Amino acid sequence: MAPQKCAHPGCSCSVPDKGPFGKYCSEHCKDAGEMTELRCGCHHAGCA
């Protein structure tokens, strides 16, 4: 199964199947949930 986009709206990271944060790429995105941010704070290099 191909990785899916992080469920946080402001994030462009991919999430591996059965990743440690569920449908999110990081603890930051999991905590932010569906909240809209101007700039994602996950700090991953590939996140726009």
- pLDDT given for residue 46 in this prediction: 82
CA-CA distance, 18 to 45, in Å (whole number)? Answer: 21
Domain boundaries, the chain: 1-48
Question: How do residues 5-42 score in pLDDT, each as one tens digit?
Answer: 999 999 999 998 889 999 999 999 999 987 888 889 99
CA-CA distance, 48 to 45, in Å (whole number)? Answer: 8
- pLDDT given for residue 39 in this prediction: 87
pLDDT confidence bin for 1, thresholds 50/70/90: low
CA-CA distance, 10 to 16, in Å (whole number)? Answer: 18
